[in-house]
Amino acid sequence: MATFLSRSDEGMYQRIRELREDHDLLQRQVADRLYCSQQVYSNYELGQRDVPTEVLIRLADLYRVSIDYLLGQTNNPVRNQ
């Protein structure tokens, strides 16, 4: 089955990869923190699997950014406190 991504979706998947790389983390390390396998996490980064809400929340907490930033809705990573 082909995966069709919108422009904003592509930005989200690229952004979660860039955040991981900026924090010098391996996919396995992030997957462990998300309680999923490395393959599942890899599929998130590739846009081959939808990212569940609870995973978005964990990623935002891990990187201390807003969910809007993860989703590509803003370029400001600052979270509202």
Report H helices in the chain: 7-22, 27-34, 38-46, 53-63, 67-70
Q: Is 36 part of any domain?
A: yes
The pLDDT value given to residue 81: 65
CA separation for the pair 6, 64 (Å, rounded): 25
75 falls within a domain = no
pLDDT band at 5 (very low <50, low <70, confident <90, very high): very low
Instruction: Domain of residue 27: give its range.
Output: 7-70
Q: How far apart are CA 26 and CA 16, in angstroms?
A: 12
**What is the tens place of the pLDDT at every residue in 20-78?**
999 999 999 999 999 999 999 999 999 999 999 999 999 999 999 999 999 999 999 98
Instruction: Identify whether the C-beta of residue 59 lies closer than 8 Å to the C-beta of residue 34.
Output: yes
- What CATH number is given to the structural domain containing 27? 1.10.260.40
- Any domain includes 59: yes
pLDDT of amino acid 79: 83
Whether 40 is in a domain gets the answer yes
The predicted pLDDT at position 16 comes to: 97
Number of folded domains in the chain? Answer: 1
